[in-house]
């Protein structure tokens, strides 16, 4: 299945994968989400080839997750800001954070904590059913073909 195939898939996980199923793209979204907005800083932080980052940033702009704003005229320099769509993607990053912290650090906790911006209290994201607010377990759900609002 090609990337373009994924974008037309009936399954939301497949479509999301077509857009962000790539390491640099996920790291770019992480860094921009935590306030690193300038191309040069992103490039230094991630150590990725410039062309790879440019291409991914352009795609994220095209898909409406990021907005490019000029912050300097000579030479022209740009920053990348999250749109509402890009900001909403933080849910996926938060779920990745939680899973990574639970399963990829052994006995020690991660060296970066997610904290409440005002109080400094550590925040632990979990995924729940919106209606019941109960944790969502794979065993409780299944995928059903057909539109929910058809």
Closest contact distance (angstroms) between CB of 35 and a second copy is: 8
SS3 54: helix
Tokens of 101: 């912290």
Closest distance between a second copy and the C-beta of residue 44, in Å?
Answer: 11
- Residue 125's Cα: distance from chain center in Å? 14
Q: Which is nearer to a second copy, 58 or 122 (CB)?
A: 122
Q: What is the C-alpha to C-alpha distance for residues 150 and 144, in angstroms, rounded to an integer?
A: 13
Token representation of residue 108: 């020690």
Decide whether 73 or 107 has the Cβ nearer to a second copy: 107
Q: How far is the CB of 133 from a second copy (least distance, A)?
A: 5
Which residue, 11 or 58, is less far from a second copy as judged by CB?
Answer: 11
């Amino acid at each position: 299945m090609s990337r373009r195939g994924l974008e037309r898939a009936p399954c939301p996980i497949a479509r999301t994968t077509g857009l962000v199923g790539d390491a640099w793209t996920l790291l770019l979204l992480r860094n921009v989400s935590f306030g690193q907005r300038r191309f040069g800083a992103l490039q230094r932080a991630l150590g990725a080839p410039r062309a790879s980052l440019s291409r991914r940033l352009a795609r994220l702009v095209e898909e409406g997750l990021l907005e490019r704003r000029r912050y300097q005229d000579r030479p022209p320099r740009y920053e990348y800001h999250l749109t509402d769509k890009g900001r909403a993607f933080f849910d996926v990053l938060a779920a990745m954070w939680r899973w990574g912290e639970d399963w990829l650090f052994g006995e020690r906790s991660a060296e970066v904590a997610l904290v409440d911006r005002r109080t400094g209290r550590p925040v632990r994201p979990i995924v729940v059913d919106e209606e019941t607010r109960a944790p969502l377990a794979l065993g409780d759900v299944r995928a059903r073909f057909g539109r929910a609002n058809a």
